Amino acid sequence: MNESLTQLKLSNGLQVLLKEIHTSPIISQWIWYRVGSRDEVPGLTGASHWVEHMMFKGTPEFPLGVLDRVVSREGGYSNAFTFLDWTAYFETLPADKIDIALRLEADRMFNSVFEPNEVSSERTVVISERQGSENEPLFRLSEEVQSAAFRVHPYHHEIIGDLTDLYSMQREDIFHHYRTYYVPNNAVLSIVGDFETQSILERIRELYEPLAAGSQPTRLVRIEPPQAGERRVSVEGPGETTYLQVSYRAPKADDPDFFALNLLDSLLTGPTNLNMFGGGVTNKTSRLYKALVEKELAVSVNGGLQATIDPYLYTTVITVHPKHTASDCIGAMEAEIKQLQDAPPPVVELERALKQARAIFAYGSESISNLAYWMGFAEMFASVDWFTTYLERLAAVTPADVQRLAQTCLRPQNRTLGVYLPNTTTP
Amino acid sequence: MTIHSLPGPDDIVRRELSNGITVLLRPNFHSLSVVVTGYLSAGAIFEPDDKLGLASFTALALMRGTIQHDFQQIYDGLESNGASLGIDGGTHSIGFYGHALAEDLDLLVGTLGETLRQPVFPADQVERLRDQLLTSLAIRAQDTAEVASLMFAELVYVGHPYSRPEDGYPETIRSIRREDLVAFHEKHFGPSGMVISIVGGVDTEQALESVTRFLGDWENLNQPIQPDLPSLKPLSGTISRQVNIPGKSEADIVMGVAGPPRRSPDFLVASLGNNILGQFGMYGRIGESVREKSGLAYHASSSLSGGIGPGPWLFIAGVDPNNIEKVIALVRQEITRFINEPVTSEELADSQANYIGRLPLSLESNAGVASALLNLERYSLGLDYYQRYPDLIRGINPAEILETAQHYLHPDRLAIATAGSFDTPG
């Protein structure tokens, strides 16, 4: 994987990752900024995501109505994502059309206009996006669990922000956020596809080297104190279905224990799929599926952990069977966890989880967009080596590591437990 | 550098087995994996009204146990190898999709053959699955977009199979007995009309041999052919229906008409026109009007489904319940403009470039190519379709788009379904 990977830093601090792949005449460009919802203080929650929206509202060179069409016009597709730790923009295009995307991203790093009327009109769009999410019981439950799990750390709030802040934030707040974090020395450019490294690098230098480095933005650091006991929340809302979310404090992505927990998750709820594009594997032979769904305590169970800079959460979401309760599911889940705490899993079970991880990695590696995503993504919380050594580090996990993680991470005192209770009498 | 070419007669292998199965193959030796996907001619169109959801229930139950293997054994075989297979029901067909490492092709095709041909519908698994389906329907009843879509289908497709949900209603799912699944499978599942597409790092002959071995001797002499669709009465005016779902922050609007079938000569023209209307860039003219200029919705767009019959031409938006009428009026305005003025040459050129340019991107993955091959067969497009496609798109002009739009769309002849919390104070 590392063979044709080029890594360098421009004089203004922009980090560049390039990988040639010539199987299809396609190039995928991703630009990553080290800013996400964890960089927002109360009053400004949702600012990173709102900035992401404003990045499609035009620059003098690519005005509104042009910027959002240039990629489509060339047959490409583009999108953007705001996460806890980062914000990313990508364009995947026919290889001979990539220049427009290179120009666009270099331009809007500095020149997005944030025209006041557009900021104002986007306020209601973002609120509408939040309202759409609020229609979903699992969003409402997840928001409550997340805020209970983090009292101090800014992982406390949802990425989209609190409604009160979405109403009160002003254009200056959003623009200041943009100017603070959107500088070349706070960004990573990852490009994969059908290009020649030297020629695309020359073009990148032409476009980006005139951009001056800014003050290095300081990430907001508020360390979450250790959790001293189980936390429980409940949410009531419409519907007939009860949901249970169990979230354990989890290691950060560059902690070796992250990989042990990854395999532990595979055993409990099926293989983790960190691909943005690419297939996964079902989880019907996982331990919790057998204990909960096959025993008809639940109708579905899914789990996963996020790769983050600071310790975040390992989360399992259970749709409770209509004839049972969340408590029944918690009891059965604890019994399964206890087995892993009492004895290490068989080696053969870890080997099986590894084959699943290799297969998922192979599915994801076939997409050029996914490879470009992975390279930049890994830089956001560790380094590109995290991606290239991912399978090796999984393979190094021992049964004793998995047992230790079950003992240390999956303790009730380390979790926040949330239940969504249907309240069909809500007017 | 490897020069990529669009799939065509020179690199797609098409074989018909003696039992009626059509096999489409395109190797991709850059890939470590393989996709196996396709469909059978047995869908919800064969269900009686009192057993809606039967085809889908049957399809989902196939992998719950066979003569040779129980549920856990079937999934253990797949998941232990990082493979995945799913079978589900549609209106005209039962679809399947699976992927695996290329070395596990036989595992995938073998599991497909076994579950299609020898399911035993274990009683306990059927009941477990029924509970899961009923929970899905309870969740559906709380989903404003899904409920508005169901209402829309009832308004537009009166007396037509497209008015019926493929996943049924709670009362029909409760009424389906295990014997119904057995009988539906016995009568309707068979090789006639089955299409299977295999794309990935496998040799053509090896793939053909695998399909022949696991499915080549399948027979069902009583398998019925697809019934003709009844004709559909066009809307004579606008009909609206509103469904109240308490406790929701946002309402969903689903409005539109029945559009052209995929095989209709109108389809590609309507599709390109629709791209201008509600897809291109940030959701075309609809997105420009509802989202960009008015800030009334995060999502507002239009879509055209095509399909075997007259699939819907839809306009959808998720909005604050207080803004529903404003958004409906804006969509109507855009429909009025679309049927009164030809699209501009710039708009047309943009969408033509978009359609032609994105084709290779959609064919980047094994899954994309496998799905594209199925479309060739399902809609009789011809193996050279993707090579002819750029010229077909370039040949479309504004007058044709206008004429097609006028044929299907009228601002005063629409079905409008909305779902959300409309009785919330304030």
- pLDDT at residue A424 is higher than 90: no
Pick the residue of A55, A129, A275, A299 with the most B CBs within 10 A to test the interface with B by mutation.
A299
pLDDT of B6: 85
Selecting from B1, B84, B364 the residue whose C-beta is nearest the C-beta of A280 gives: B84
B411 CA: distance to closest CA in chain A (Å): 25
User: Would an 8 Å CB–CB cutoff place A76 in contact with chain B?
Assistant: yes
Q: What pLDDT score was predicted for residue B4?
A: 47
Judge contact between B18 and B217, C-beta under 8 A: no
CB contact under 8 A, B246 and A92: no
**Structure token digits, residue A138:** 């699992």
Q: What is the mean pLDDT of chain B?
A: 95
Rounded mean pLDDT of A165-172?
A: 98
Report yes or no: A300 at the B interface, CB cutoff 8 Å. Answer: yes
Q: List domains and CATH numbers for chain A.
A: 5-208 (3.30.830.10), 231-422 (3.30.830.10)
- Say whether A282 and B84 touch across the interface (CB within 8 A): yes
Residue A2 pLDDT class (50, 70, 90 cuts): very low
What whole-number distance in Å separates Cα of residue B87 and Cα of residue A329?
28
Q: Which of A68-72, A172-176, B288-292 has the highest average model confidence (pLDDT)?
A: A172-176
* B66: DSSP letter: B
Task: Supply the pLDDT for residue B426.
Answer: 34
pLDDT band, residue A366 (cuts 50/70/90):
confident
Task: Give the whole-angstrom CA distance, residue A249 versus residue A57.
Answer: 38
The reply to whether residue A355 touches residue B4, judged by beta carbons under 8 angstroms, is: no
Q: State the greatest distance between any 2 C-alpha atoms of chain A, in Å, as a whole number.
A: 65
Partner B contacted by A352 (CB < 8 A): yes
**B319, B251 Cβ separation under 8 angstroms:** yes
Across the interface, of B101, B249, B354, the residue whose CB is closest to A72 is: B354
Q: Mind listing the pLDDT tens digit for each residue in B44-84?
A: 999 999 999 999 999 999 999 999 999 999 999 999 999 99
Record: contact A426-B246, CB cut-off 8 A: yes
**Residue B219 in tokens:** 């027979």
Whether chain A has a CB inside 8 Å of the CB on B346: the answer is no
Phi and psi at residue A152, to the nearest 5°:
-110, -45
Strands A26-33 and A187-193: antiparallel
Whether complex ipTM tops 0.85: yes
Q: Is B144 on the interface with A (CB under 8 A)?
A: yes
- pLDDT for B3 beyond 70: no
pLDDT digit string, tens, across residues B248-281: 999 999 999 999 999 999 999 999 999 999 999 9
pLDDT digits (tens, 9 = 90+) for B345-399: 999 999 999 999 999 888 888 999 999 999 999 999 999 999 999 999 999 999 9
Tokens linked to B316? 């959808």
Enclosing H/E stretch for A233: strand A231-237
Confidence band (pLDDT; 50, 70, 90) for A274?
confident
**What pLDDT does A203 receive?**
98
- Asked whether residue A117 carries a pLDDT value surpassing 90, the answer given is yes
What confidence tier does A278 reach under pLDDT thresholds 50, 70, 90?
confident
d(CA A105, CA A71): 11
Decide if B175 contacts B50 (C-beta within 8 A): yes
At A426 the pLDDT is: 40
Nearest residue in A to B421, CA atom? A427
Residue B425 predicted with pLDDT over 80 = no
3-state secondary structure A36-71: CHHHCCCCCCCHHHHHHHHCCCCCCCCCCCCHHHHH
User: CB of A238 within 8 Å of any CB in chain B?
Assistant: yes
Q: Which residues pair with B33 in a beta bridge?
A: B101
Whether pLDDT at B32 is above 50: yes
- pLDDT averaged over every residue in chain A: 95
- The strand ranges marked E within B220-309 are 239-244, 251-258, 297-304
Classify strands B415-420 and B239-244 as parallel, antiparallel or unpaired.
Answer: parallel
Measured distance CA(B257)–CA(B413) in Å, rounded: 8
Query: Is A75 in contact with B356 (Cβ distance < 8 A)?
Result: yes
Q: Poorest-confidence range of A73-77, B155-159, B329-333?
A: A73-77
B123 interfaces chain A, CB cutoff of 8 Å: no
Average pLDDT of the segment spanning B115-139: 98
**Inter-CA distances, A149 with A39, A48, A152, Å:** 17, 21, 9
Q: What is the percentage of chain B residues whose pLDDT exceeds 70?
A: 98
* CB < 8 Å to B34, chain A: none
CA–CA separation, A18 vs A26, rounded Å?
A: 14
**Mean pLDDT across A332-339:** 98
- Within 10 A of A267 (CB to CB), how many other CB atoms are there? 21
Count of pairs with CB atoms under 8 A, one residue in A, one in B: 203
Q: Phi and psi for B2 in degrees, rounded to 5?
A: -85, 130
Domains along the sequence of chain B with CATH: 13-215 (3.30.830.10), 239-420 (3.30.830.10)
The 10 Å Cβ neighbour count of residue B9 is 11
Looking at residue A201, its amino acid is L
Nearest chain A CA: its distance from B96 CA (Å):
14
Provide the 10 A C-beta neighbour count for residue A116: 12
Cβ burial B256-270 (10 Å sphere, 16+ → b, else e): bbbbbbbeeebbbbb
